[in-house]
């Protein structure tokens, strides 16, 4: 594992119980007042990756709410280096990938430098997305869902066609969000990170049980909740566009392709027809991120020397 310990970057961390507890509790979940965000969006800055599905949901929300001219954004390279983690483009180290930028605020080379600047003694993982407060020079949040929700509560009512959390649908959206996040968004990673053949197969069956149920739910409807695009659709979409080209071959989510689910496929394709969503999709960056990361590939070898064998539908 990569990360910071007491503000110092480590490229390979063996977690003992004490460190595991610290890493488990680390992160930034400061409450962002929607009124402050609404009144001064230019005070804040996003650090994101097109490759990461959790950062992608924030990019997608920013695009749907038409905040590009109000909420600035820096984008890291899709390659997650074991040595230095997420990195920015620089004149000396340009990126060949569309949309990748320099750190527009501080010209940092690596994302962990922002965590050090925000909290010099920080211990924990260094992840995207990050919502940065220019005024205090600190990280407000690195929780993708909290950032999405704050953006929508501040600006969704101004964009009637893109209010992702309308008041009359909130209980239903909350239930759908919980299911999609736990069973699908995180489910693909539980499959990919299984440490035994039995665990892998159990997690795989749970993932596909959730996908089958959601496919049936979408049989006669365009969106997951109600008759409009909501947070739930966005959460599902960032997994959907990665599933066949990255999760299936790399994480071994191999019982079926996403395209084998007729209603899930139609839902994904319908969202891709929305220009504000389509512009956020970067398949070449997904390929680099997942295939060029030995932490994914190496997990296939078990402690007994054997490898996890992918399960496919016969």
For residue 257, give the CATH number of its domain.
1.20.1050.10
Euclidean distance between CA atoms 108 and 114, whole angstroms: 7
Q: Does residue 300 lie in a domain region?
A: no
Domain stops at, among 144, 162, 180:
162
Assess whether 212 and 66 both reside in one domain. Answer: no
149: pLDDT strictly greater than 60: yes
Task: Print the domain residue range for 16.
Answer: 3-162
Closest CA to 57 of 134, 171, 146: 146
Q: Write down the pTM of the prediction.
A: 0.94
Assess whether 17 and 149 both reside in one domain. Answer: yes
Give how many domains the chain has, as a whole number.
Answer: 2
Residues assigned a catalytic role: 52, 189
Q: Does residue 106 lie in a domain region?
A: yes
By mean pLDDT, which of 6-20, 105-119, 125-139, 175-189 is the weakest?
A: 6-20
By mean pLDDT, which of 159-168, 178-187, 209-218 is the weakest?
A: 159-168
Assess whether 8 and 157 both reside in one domain. Answer: yes
Identify the residue with better confidence: 240 or 33: 240
* Structure token pair of residue 44: 């804040």
Identify the residue with better confidence: 31 or 293: 293
With bands split at pLDDT 50, 70 and 90, how would you rate the model's confidence at 161? Answer: low
Assess whether 10 and 155 both reside in one domain. Answer: yes
Assess whether 23 and 147 both reside in one domain. Answer: yes
Of all residues in the chain, what percent carry a pLDDT higher than 70? Answer: 95
Closest CA to 274 of 103, 72, 64: 64
Closest CA to 35 of 142, 153, 138, 141: 153
Assess whether 136 and 111 both reside in one domain. Answer: yes
Q: Give me the pLDDT at residue 159, please.
A: 54
Assess whether 44 and 14 both reside in one domain. Answer: yes
Assess whether 142 and 210 both reside in one domain. Answer: no
Assess whether 186 and 270 both reside in one domain. Answer: yes
């Amino acid at each position: 594992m990569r990360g910071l310990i007491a503000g110092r970057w480590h490229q390979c961390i063996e977690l003992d119980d004490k460190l595991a507890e610290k890493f488990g509790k680390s992160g930034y979940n400061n409450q962002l007042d929607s009124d402050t965000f609404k009144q001064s969006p230019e005070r804040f800055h996003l650090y994101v990756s097109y490759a990461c599905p959790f950062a992608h949901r924030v990019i997608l929300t920013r695009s749907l709410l038409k905040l590009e001219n109000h909420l600035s954004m820096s984008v890291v390279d899709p390659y997650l280096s074991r040595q230095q983690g997420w990195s920015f483009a620089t004149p000396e180290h340009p990126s060949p990938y569309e949309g990748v930028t320099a750190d527009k605020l501080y010209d940092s080379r690596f994302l962990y430098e922002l965590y050090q600047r925000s909290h010099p003694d920080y211990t924990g993982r260094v992840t995207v997305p990050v919502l940065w407060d220019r005024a205090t020079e600190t990280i407000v949040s690195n929780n993708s869902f909290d950032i999405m929700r704050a953006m929508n509560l501040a600006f969704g009512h101004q964009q009637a066609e893109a209010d992702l959390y309308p008041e009359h649908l909130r209980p239903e959206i909350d239930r759908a969000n919980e299911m999609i996040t736990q069973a699908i968004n995180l489910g693909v990673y539980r499959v990919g990170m299984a440490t035994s053949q039995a665990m892998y197969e159990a997690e795989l069956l749970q993932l596909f049980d959730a996908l089958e149920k959601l496919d049936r739910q979408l049989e006669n409807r365009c969106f997951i909740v109600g008759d409009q695009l909501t947070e739930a659709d966005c959460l599902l979409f960032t997994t959907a566009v990665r599933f066949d080209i990255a999760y299936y071959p790399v994480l071994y989510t191999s019982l079926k392709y996403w395209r084998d689910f007729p209603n899930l496929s139609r839902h994904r394709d319908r969202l891709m027809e929305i220009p504000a969503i389509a512009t956020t999709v970067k398949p070449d960056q997904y390929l680099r991120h997942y295939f060029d990361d030995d932490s994914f590939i190496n997990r296939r070898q078990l402690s007994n020397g054997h490898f996890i064998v992918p399960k496919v539908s016969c």
